[in-house]
Amino acid sequence: MQSQINVASDVSEQLALAALQGYGTPVLYKVRPGDRVSRILHNYYGALPGTARYREAELTLRYFNPALANPDYIVIGQTLKLLPLPPGGGSCPIPADVDPVQLNAFRAARPPRHYLEPASPNYVERIGQHIPLDPAERDAFFAPAWLEENYRWLAQPAGVGASALGLLTGPGNVALVREVGTAYDLYKRGVLTKGQYDYRRRTALQTFSRNVGPMERLLFKGQTANEVVRISRLLGIPATHRIEATAARLGQMARYATRGGVVLAGAGLYMACREMGRASGAQEKNEIMVEAVGSTAVGAALSLGVAIALTTTPVGWGVALVLAAGTAVASYGGGVGLRVAYDRWGQKVDFADRLEVSRLCS
Amino acid sequence: MQLSGHDLFMLCFWLMVSYLVWMPPTWFLLTFLLPRSLVDRYFCAPHFNQGELTVLSAFPGSVMRTGIFAWLVAFPSLDRRRGMRDIRNYTPRWFVNVARCFCVVAAGQGFVAIVLLVCLALWPGD
């Protein structure tokens, strides 16, 4: 009997050590607005709802948080102990030929309990010593989780912003910066007079400033194009070095921003699909899909509306920014509106299943 | 027959799904098929200002440029400031027809979808 207890104790210690060494760090997590248990378990344990790992993670959560009477009900500010699962954590699959009546009777007789409960009563104390108490460390866990949760509505304005930056730093504007260098070369070779060079430089930079509008200081870290695009006076450096460096920097920024904008916009749909994949039920899956359909459709319709408005009136920077921001906000609002309407009137219809989106995003 | 909130929601949802299926792909396709003659003749000052020329010259701004050209080709009389009322004289016949269909159906369906969404927001609970 004594040897059996020792063996059990050794196993539990090994489990605890393995959990500490290679299977994640314990976290003391403070519930934030918008949190759901399924999301927290997914972010910390990588467990998808409906899987054995998810059930094991949920049991672990309940075991180490006895105050959590109902795991589906968490409140903002509540602190949860998230402790790592030991290696091989997860339930055995139930054979297909088991009689469901017997299975239910078995479950009723043995309510779920954590696998560490009988063998390692000091597990909580041991692992609790490793729980981070530093608020910054807790926030570091929260930040990626928050970003993942809110990516869908962040992606659209971020995509629009990146695309706009790509357009502003595009080839047309880079050519205006290079125009200053070309004019300087011509002046040095005697083709242009000083006055002609000054005029060309001033015209090119004024056009550049007008094109990029209020983004000028953002592009040049608080300076204007006139202050940055200048002739170098240092010995050993070509006179047009700063101009070429600025043009190259803008060109590189344009490439990154344009590609980034397209990727961000596409990734928004991917993230919606990913979120659907780890949604805990059909209701949540449908809400996410309906919101994505609503926001994308309203965004497309309003974009056409903006194009129609532009046919009659050329717009300046201020109006363009207002139109872009208004379209992004209205698009987001359209998605939320359709989602609310689905909750009120469409809950009985499983669109995600009917349109095969569930299977695509599983 | 009385219209319920559920019926209105279903109408709005399927209208939006069908809109997403055809409208954006067609818009992108028109961007690739936009006649070169239109761009060469009209995509310059004084029809577009310098800022617009910069922003609308590359993707994704070029998609918006297609929308502007398509709308002007479909309804040239609505042009007030750009000086492009004779645009149809330089546009292939097929593009005039396609642009007219695209603008009417896309703007109409989008408008109806948004109106239905507003109606849903104001619809009394069942």
Residues A102-123 pLDDT 10s: 767 766 665 544 444 443 445 5
A225, A137 in Cβ contact below 8 A? no
Distance from CA of A322 to the nearest CA of B (A): 15
B60 vs A262: CB contact, 8 Å cut-off?
yes
For chain B, what percent of residues have pLDDT higher than 90?
37
Same domain, A105 and A194: no
Strands A79-82 and A27-30 come out as antiparallel
Same domain, A204 and A238: yes
Contacts of A317 in chain B (CB under 8 A): 51
B16 vs A294: CB contact, 8 Å cut-off?
yes
A56, A90 in Cβ contact below 8 A? yes
Same domain, A211 and A315: no
- Cβ–Cβ contact A177 with B under 8 A: no
pLDDT beneath 70, residues of chain A = 1-25, 86-98, 103, 106-168, 170-172, 235, 258, 261-262, 264-266, 268-269, 278, 280, 313-318, 347, 358, 362
Distance from CA of B116 to the nearest CA of A (A): 10
Query: Quick one: which of B52, B58, B53, B60 has its CA closest to A261?
Result: B60
Same domain, A85 and A193: no
What is the per-residue pLDDT for A157?
Answer: 65
Domain ranges, residue A174: 135-271
Residues A51-69 pLDDT 10s: 777 877 888 888 788 777 7
A205, A220 in Cβ contact below 8 A? no
What is the per-residue pLDDT for A89?
Answer: 45
Same domain, A316 and A230: no
Same domain, A64 and A179: no
What is the per-residue pLDDT for A18?
Answer: 46
Q: Which of residues 206-265 of A touch B (CB under 8 A)?
A: 207, 210-211, 213, 258, 261-262
- Residue B22: pLDDT above 70? yes
Same domain, A141 and A259: yes
Contacts of B114 in chain A (CB under 8 A): 298, 301, 334
* Pairwise CA distance, residues A340 & B82, whole Å: 42
What is the per-residue pLDDT for B95?
Answer: 92
What is the per-residue pLDDT for A22?
Answer: 45
Same domain, A164 and A250: yes
A217, A224 in Cβ contact below 8 A? yes
What is the per-residue pLDDT for A120?
Answer: 44
What DSSP assignment string belongs to A194-256?
HHHHHHHHHHHHHHHHHHHGGGHHHHTTT--HHHHS----STTS-TTHHHHHHHHHHHHHHHH
B54 vs A167: CB contact, 8 Å cut-off?
yes
Same domain, A126 and A19: yes
Count CB atoms within 10 A of the CB of residue B25.
Answer: 10
The residue among A86 and B29 whose pLDDT is bigger is: B29
Long-range contacts made by residues A92-101, C-beta under 8 angstroms, separation at least 24?
A92/A52, A93/A52
CA-based R_g, chain B, Å:
18
| Count: domains in chain A | 3
Residues B46-102 pLDDT 10s: 888 766 776 777 777 788 889 989 999 998 888 877 888 888 888 899 999 999 999
B10 vs A171: CB contact, 8 Å cut-off?
no
